[in-house]
Amino acid sequence: MDNKKNALKFIKEINPALVIWVKYEYWFHYLNELKKQSIPVLLVSAIFRESQQFFKSNNKFWKKILFCFDHIFVQDTASKQLLNSIEVNENITISGDTRFDRVLEIAAIKTAIDEIEKFVEKQQVLVAGSTWEQDEKLLAKYMMQHETKKLIVAPHEINPAHLKNIKQLFPSSIFYSEWTRLKVKPNNIQVLIIDNVGMLAQLYQYASICYIGGGFNKSGIHNILEAAVYGKAIIFGPHYQKFGEAVGLIQKGGAFSIQNEIELKSILDTLFDDSTKLDKAENVAKNFVIEKSGATKMIIDYVSGKRLLTNASNCLTDSD
């Protein structure tokens, strides 16, 4: 927990040369203790919104947190401007989000999944990742009306009860664990349900179009970059405004937000049937990720340039 005693004990035991804080959570006692001990702390991939406590009238405590960081790497210009508005003006760099670099790295080492290729068989396929119940109900209605299309659905929750419900939604479906055990693959399976964790990032490479779940929850959509990096058109629900990459892709035409099953059907039918529109969305998605990459190198260059890890490096042995 974030209290003075725990912060002091933890930092003493870890004895870090450099601390990198990521994005969202701000633990005051840990940050304050690091500052007291003159241990450099970087905040990376930070994104700020006007609704946050930092920008309220009674923000003295929250501003103190911000001044614990030696340098702040923000995702966008709007975040820098918000910091400037409360007189946090120094040691701020607009670097972007390190997640873009990570998904590019994953895509670069993509590996074929034989069992998925046997299911797809060069047909049009919708890959739906991190889905929730409302996402799955919409997809089920679409698939019932489009029997020539295929669907790979990787639910966010894979507990037995949820998997059972998904199986009932899709009559001609099979679990991935069952599919892999079959020696002869049936040709009447329309939906493949992924009942494991860890495959999703590689599944998107097989999609004609991708659907990302979570958009009907107030917390918002899940990671769309894992799909965008493969140059895929992306569809998701209405709650996406907190995610800059979703807003940017919609503005450029690489992603589409839907409110209901009618809109889902309209967008899917258009993209499946019009190769020109689909190609445009795919190119937008791929280029968007490439253009937004580079944050990791910028941060590493800063660490190297400031020699923040020099003393720590000198202490390492060859075996380390």
- Classify domain 111-291 at the CATH topology level: Rossmann fold (3.40.50)
pLDDT band at 309 (very low <50, low <70, confident <90, very high): confident
Q: How far apart are CA 252 and CA 288, in angstroms?
A: 9
Percent pLDDT > 90 in the chain is 93
Pick from 236, 226, 156: which is nearest to 197 by CA? Answer: 156
Tokens for 1?
A: 């927990």
Residue the block writes with tokens 């399976």: 189
Please say if the pLDDT value at position 311 is more than 70.
Answer: no
Which residue from 219, 200, 291 is spatially nearest to 254, judged by alpha carbons? 291
Alpha-carbon separation of residue 172 from 167, 226, 289 (angstroms): 9, 27, 35
Q: Do domains 4-96+294-313 and 111-291 have the same CATH topology?
A: yes
Lowest mean pLDDT among 80-94, 219-233, 299-313: 299-313
pLDDT at site 312: 54
* Alpha-carbon gap, residue 290 to 229, rounded angstroms: 8
CA dihedral of residues 151, 156, 161, 163 (deg, nearest 10)? 20
* pLDDT tens, residue by residue, 127-157: 999 999 999 999 999 999 999 999 999 999 9
SS3 289: helix
Enumerate residues 6+ apart whose C-beta is below 8 A from 174: 189, 191, 192, 193
* H or E, element range at 71: strand 71-74
- Which pLDDT belongs to residue 92? 98
pLDDT at residue 122, as a whole number: 87
Q: Which fold has domain 4-96+294-313?
A: Rossmann fold (3.40.50)
Give me the mean pLDDT over the 257-284 stretch: 98
At 196, the pLDDT band (50, 70, 90 cuts) reads: very high
Q: Treating both helix axes as pointing N-terminal to C-terminal, what angle do 133-145 and 160-169 enclose, rounded to 10 degrees?
A: 20
Once rounded to an integer, what is the mean pLDDT over residues 57-76?
95
Instruction: Tell me what pLDDT residue 310 has.
Output: 79
**DSSP string covering 219-247:** T-----HHHHTTT--EEE-S--TT-HHHH
Per-residue model confidence (pLDDT) at position 110: 83
pLDDT mean across residues, the chain: 94
Give the mean pLDDT of 76-101: 96
The predicted structure's pLDDT at residue 307 = 93
Q: For the chain, which residues make up each domain, given as ranges?
A: 4-96+294-313, 111-291
Cβ neighbours of 80 (radius 10 Å): 19
Whether pTM exceeds 0.85: yes
- Is the pLDDT at 97 greater than 50, yes or no? yes
For the cut 90, the answer to whether the pLDDT of residue 203 exceeds it is yes
Mean pLDDT value of segment 243-268: 97
